[in-house]
Structure 1
């Protein structure tokens, strides 16, 4: 049964551990730069969840909270980069050495050919998990079209940033919403935009060799925060700043629902196991009022 569906689990602690070949007590400053006010979402906690500072080509690229039991990310948090939406076509899928029992690198690596040692499979998804999962396809929480530089785009192609999505929902609903958000932030966000995209689960699993391997998301959700935006934008776009959010049911013939970050927080408190202190952005991305002199 998926971790989020296990009753009796009390999710009360703020996660402050990170994995970089070893468990650390605090996210490093280079990882916190992808989080609004340097603070990850609060109100989540479980021994199976691990922070990954996603590193590629000698640089940190974004942060993922990963469930090593369900073998999917709970969320990925990243900073949006302006782009025309180009996609990477020649990047191999990668795995995360930080989740293996022993590793001499803290950077994501392409899957090696041949047999994957069990210490990879125990804590994360591998390509074989998706090879016969005909009802689902790989969907990235941090999509490459929300990144600008080639290395930032390439870093999104790790299975620790991927969840199983129903193809119809992924291609006709979720990807279109990613495109809408990209255009909105391209046009009206003047400063840095912080994005957190995550999932909820309810027990459905992808199995391989009669073993539960990967949890299938019930809902996908996403929220952004941009406090420096164009106040002269048309009202239809301006009211969606400094923050806005949406979620969608991971099934065929569904649509996304747009809402405020506060409403998304309330929705997640009703539908998944987070505590009453759950918060996606500090203060729901409501910047403190400027002091008048």
Structure 2
């Protein structure tokens, strides 16, 4: 176990640390050029990247599994990008991992499991979220790239890295957001005849940031979008609006306003306030643009249509 005092330190210390570490990161952390296959037309989203974010090609068992844009200050990723494949089998056992290169500039590019016994390296603690951050918190470990959106077992296991995790309320994680993930998986597995590109990310609070243990920032909303440029043209009429792209935003705070996502007053009490609003890709990009104060394009050319 890591002592509590090792997990909590002033944000001023964080900023100093980030300044010191920012120029040391090499290898798979630092650019997406090693894993462009997870982005439509090999092009990462435009308008979301700044110097404070760190691109990570997430590597497990010597293969790239997905890509994440990591926020060092908030100790979560702004988004994860991946290729959805039809899932098979049970969810793998949780074996949580971390990104060594965030802690040590010349470390292995392979994500590594947290030690089963003994302390976690102070460099790891200072550079990213650790399991103790979530212990006794009121938040679950919310996947941006969900395990159940993958077929290959190692692809599914690779999603259990804390650089792919954000603090998510249980009512969202096991409620409307889980329904969205399931619907997207079924729809794309059934009607998408080519690669299915997915990007899932977060919207931080505009003011009054929330933190767990003064270390990991809590997002106000989660968002997700997919691009399926090649799909079955004979899909039902009711599903035509979902291709070639679609998106959604989900609430992670019951007390948030309803300007982005309205609340369904008839929902069950356990999930009320964690609603998900489904929308066109362009609508999501408008929301992101308003929050980021810069034009946002998630998929190059707005995901060109190639119905088959």
**TM bracket (short chain):** 0.7 to 0.9
For 1:18 and 1:264, the matched residues in 2 are separated by: 34
Cα distance, 1:21 vs structure 2: 4.1
The question of whether the paired residues in 1 share the 8 Å contact of 2:204 and 2:220 is answered with yes
Aligned twin of 2:268: none
Instruction: Return the offset for 1:23.
Output: 5.9
Q: Which residue of 2 aligns with 1:286?
A: 304
**Candidates 47, 54, 62, aligned match of 1:43:** 47
Structure 1 position 64, deviation (Å): 0.2
2:219 to 217, 220, 225: 217
Q: RMSD over aligned Cα, in angstroms?
A: 2.3
Counterpart of 2:252 in structure 1 is 250
Residue 260 of structure 1: aligned partner: 280
Paired residue secondary structure (1:33): helix
**1:233 matched residue in structure 2:** 235
Q: Which residue of 2 aligns with 1:204?
A: 209
Q: How does 1:22-33 map to 2 (within 5 A)?
A: 24=30, 26-29=31-34, 31-33=35-37
Question: How far apart are 1:221 and its partner, in Å?
Answer: 0.3
Give 3-state SS (helix, strand or coil) of 2:209's partner: strand
Matched with 2:183 is 180
Q: How does 1:130-149 map to 2 (within 5 A)?
A: 130-133=134-137, 135-149=138-152
Query: How far apart are the structure 2 equivalents of 1:20 and 1:53?
Result: 12
Cα gap change, 1:263 to 1:22, in 2 (>3 Å): closer
> Gapped runs of 5+ residues in structure 2?
1-9, 12-22, 255-271
1:147 Cα deviation after fit? 0.4
1:157-191 per-residue CA deviation (whole Å, 9 max, x = no partner) reads: 00000000010111011111100100001110010
TM-score, length of structure 1 as denominator length: 0.85
Contact conserved, 2:29 with 2:102, CA < 8 A, in 1? no
The answer (yes or no) to whether the contact 2:231–2:306 under 8 Å persists in 1 is no
How many residue pairs get aligned? The number is: 266
Return 5+ residue gaps in structure 1 as ranges.
3-16
Conserved? CA contact 1:18–1:53, under 8 Å:
no
Structure 1 equivalent of residue 266 of structure 2: none
Kindly tell me: are residues 274 and 44 of structure 1, through their superposed partners in 2, closer, same or farther at Cα, counting changes over 3 Å?
farther
Q: Distance in 1 between matches of 2:89 and 2:243?
A: 21
- CA separation in 1, counterparts of 2:242 and 2:28? 40
In structure 2, relative to structure 1, the CA distance for the partners of 1:250 and 1:150 (3 Å cut) is same
Q: Counterparts of 2:155 and 2:26 in 1: how far apart (Å)?
A: 19
> Which structure shows the higher strand fraction?
1
Cα distance, 1:101 vs. partner?
Answer: 2.7
Given that residues 144 and 166 in structure 2 are in contact (C-alpha distance below 8 angstroms), is that contact kept between their aligned partners in structure 1? yes
1:18 CA drift (Å): 12
The structural deviation recorded for 1:65 is 0.2
